Amino acid sequence: MNIKKSWEYSTAPESVDHIILNDKYDLFINGKFVPSKSGNYFDTINPATENRIAKVSDANNRDVDIAVLSARDSYEKIWSKMEAKERGKYIYRIARLLQERAREFSIIESMDGGKPIRESRDVDIPLAVAHFFYYAGWADKLEYAFPGRSPKSLGVIGQIIPWNFPLLMAAWKIAPALATGNTLVLKPAETTPLTAMKLAEIIQEAELPPGVVNIVTGGGETGKLIVEHPGIDKIAFTGSTEVGKYIMNALSGSKKKYTLELGGKAANIIFEDAAIDQAVEGIVNSIFFNQGHVCCAGSRLYIQEGVSDNIIEKLKTRIGTLNIGNPLDKNTDIGAINSKMQLKKIEMYTKLGKKDGGSIYQPVCKLPQKGFWYAPTLFTDVSQSNRIVQDEIFGPVLAIQTFRTVDEVISKANNTPYGLSGGIWTDKGSKIFKVSKEIRAGVIWANTFNKFDPASPFGGYKESGVGSEGGVEGLHGYVNLE
């Protein structure tokens, strides 16, 4: 079906003239940018154009060794001995410098990862800044976070993050680790290392003591070297459940602690008494903005039978009006898929969905010639056992089912190995309380979706993870309590 848009926007792309990017980025170790010992580099590309943005150092075992040693040295000699309020000042300084350069960071985030500038400008970068401010405040107040206990830092933390919220995930990891007196070695994802390297510039400018934060770039192999390094006291990982399981196995029997923030397959539940138009907008926000590259995306939709035809029609109309294209355009709703590999995965799942008997709907839309793109996609006639209902696709693909009763939808929503998030749309507070209590997920939003605040914890049940990030709870993973 071709739904004609009632209007067209003129394009309004962000200017990139003021963006300064190097041709190549080296590792950030002991306060300096240094090439990897192998001398090897990999490319980071712009997924909207497939053009190379920069070459990035590929860290090997010797690089990881040096990074861990420098983190250990600065932990023992400087950071763990520093007065807590002084540590807090450094974190505030990072927060302020980042805030001043928010526009530049938003543009680089969208260039390197493909997400719409509206998302990086309004969500990723402000939230990353907010996390640094929030945890800076805790640095000298830890005795209030753990009343009657005596929190002690762990030592050197290894941190590994994914490509969907590159700078935000770096902030989630770095800010609480520093506030609690730890030093760290962080590895960003191979496809989105640039904002982490720009953050390294800010860390240098803030004059953080050398070795407190080390950033090593590379692929999964570099991540493995961090996980297995004997000089690391704790692994903080955000990424897929598959790699999370490998990390749990690799660390079993070792003394290393770990926190894991993993995948999700959130149920978004619409009751007949919900404000229908708001709910439709909430569905679109929960899965289609940011290309569905969101761990907590509402990728399973459950609609109460009486309103399902109406909602599905409204959804079809609405996704026909979404703007897909240049991530740097302020009107863009759906940007580029982060990588060719991710695009192939989405295509594989939609094929599987059709093979399993699902009915697919995609609006007619013109996708750019170059780059990696995927149209917003609805699947109906699917059942609980279908792979597109069970597996995390991490793309703009929504699996829709209907339900009759509250108990039925609770059991359907819980029928998943994941438990990261969920959404409820209803006019009745009692339903909100019942459903949110009985669904096993870390976050349940009511009549809204994807709302974040540094003061509120985020973490998953079941295969969605171990431990939480954000809030006071986010400090727990970085201290020993005596």
Q: Which amino acids are annotated catalytic?
A: 261, 295
Output the CA angle 28-142-445, nearest 5 degrees: 85
Min dist. Cβ of residue 321 to Mg ion (A): 28
| Residue the block writes with tokens 């996390």 | 131
Scanning 31-39, 152-160, 190-198, 353-361 for contacts with Mg ion by CB under 5 A, the matching segment is 190-198
With residue 228 as reference, give the H or E element that holds it.
helix 220-228
In the window 135-194, what residues touch ligand NAP (CB under 6 A)? 160-165, 187, 189-190
Q: Does 261 bind ligand NAP (CB under 6 A)?
A: yes
Min dist. Cβ of residue 196 to ligand NAP (A): 10
Which does residue 112 bind out of ligand NAP, Mg ion, none, counting CB within 5 to 8 angstroms by kind?
Answer: Mg ion
Q: Does 112 bind Mg ion (CB under 5 A)?
A: yes
With residue 259 as reference, give the H or E element that holds it.
strand 257-261
Q: Does 190 bind Mg ion (CB under 5 A)?
A: no
Scanning 144-152, 238-246, 298-306, 329-337 for contacts with ligand NAP by CB under 6 A, the matching segment is 238-246
Strands (E), 392-463: 397-403, 418-419, 421-425, 443-446, 458-459, 461-462
Q: Does 239 bind ligand NAP (CB under 6 A)?
A: yes
Out of 36, 44, 74, 464, point to the residue binding Mg ion (CB under 5 A): 44
Which does residue 44 bind out of Mg ion, ligand NAP, none, counting CB within 5 to 8 angstroms by kind?
Answer: Mg ion
Rg of the chain over all Cα atoms, to the nearest angstrom: 22
Instruction: Beginning with the edge strand found earlier in the chain, give each strand of the sheet holding 41-46 in spatial order.
Output: 24-25, 51-57, 41-46
Out of 264, 320, 363, 422, point to the residue binding ligand NAP (CB under 6 A): 264
Which does residue 246 bind out of Mg ion, ligand NAP, none, counting CB within 5 to 8 angstroms by kind?
Answer: ligand NAP
Q: With left for phi above 0 and alpha for psi between -120 and 50, is residue 292 left, alpha or beta?
A: left
Provide, for the chain, the percentages of residues in helix, strand and coil under a 3-state DSSP scheme, each rounded to the nearest 5: 40, 20, 40
CA nearest 114: which of 386, 424, 370, 449?
A: 370
Which does residue 223 bind out of Mg ion, ligand NAP, none, counting CB within 5 to 8 angstroms by kind?
Answer: ligand NAP
| Distance of alpha carbon 355 from alpha carbon 359, whole angstroms | 10
**Site residues for ligand NAP per CB under 6 A:** 160-165, 187, 189-190, 219-220, 223-224, 227, 238-240, 243, 246, 261-264, 295, 392, 394, 420, 458, 460, 465
